[in-house]
């Protein structure tokens, strides 16, 4: 247990068995006011708040019209990069109809197990299963 005092970041890191950079990052992230002393209970509260934030909804929902278009193009053996570029050209002013290649990969790999997932992943050029 650490006693209240002025220990260096290296001394705290040594006592906790962590790297000094980790301790420094946590101090910066969870100190409320720089002119005040570090409050561990307040830091823990803030850490729990940030940990429990809900995730954003996916950019490419599996039940949407955009996913149907993406799936159609994947079945034509287009790469996610080609699909993303084409959507950007097709809908230059509508960002709701555009999606990045990373979002396409995420949607495919986060799909629930099933034949559609296997079919679409098999359509990728690398065929990674």
Place of tokens 């034949």: 115
The string of pLDDT tens digits covering residues 73-110 is 999 999 999 999 999 999 999 988 999 999 999 888 88
Q: Based on the domain organization, do 39 and 72 belong to the same domain?
A: no
The string of pLDDT tens digits covering residues 1-59 is 444 567 888 998 999 899 999 988 888 877 777 777 777 788 888 778 877 666 666 78
Residue 4 lies in a domain: no
The tally of domains found in the chain comes to: 2
**Residue 86 structural domain:** 65-122
Residue 128 lies in a domain: no
Q: Based on the domain organization, do 69 and 47 belong to the same domain?
A: no
* 125 and 77 Cβ atoms separated by less than 8 Å: yes
Q: Based on the domain organization, do 42 and 73 belong to the same domain?
A: no
* 64 and 97 Cβ atoms separated by less than 8 Å: no
Structure tokens at 119: 């079919």
* 101 and 80 Cβ atoms separated by less than 8 Å: yes
């Amino acid at each position: 247990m650490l006693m209240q005092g002025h220990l260096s970041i290296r001394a705290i890191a040594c006592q906790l068995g962590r790297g000094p950079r980790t301790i420094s990052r946590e101090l910066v992230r969870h100190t409320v006011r720089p002119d005040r002393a570090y409050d561990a209970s307040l830091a823990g509260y803030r850490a729990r708040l940030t940990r429990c934030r809900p995730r954003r909804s996916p950019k490419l929902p599996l039940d949407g019209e955009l996913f149907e278009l993406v799936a159609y193009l994947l079945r034509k053996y287009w790469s996610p990069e080609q699909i993303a570029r084409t959507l950007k050209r097709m809908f230059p002013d509508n960002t709701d109809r555009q999606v990045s290649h990373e979002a396409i990969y995420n949607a495919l790999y986060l799909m629930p197990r099933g034949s559609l997932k296997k079919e679409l992943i098999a359509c990728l050029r690398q065929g990674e299963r």
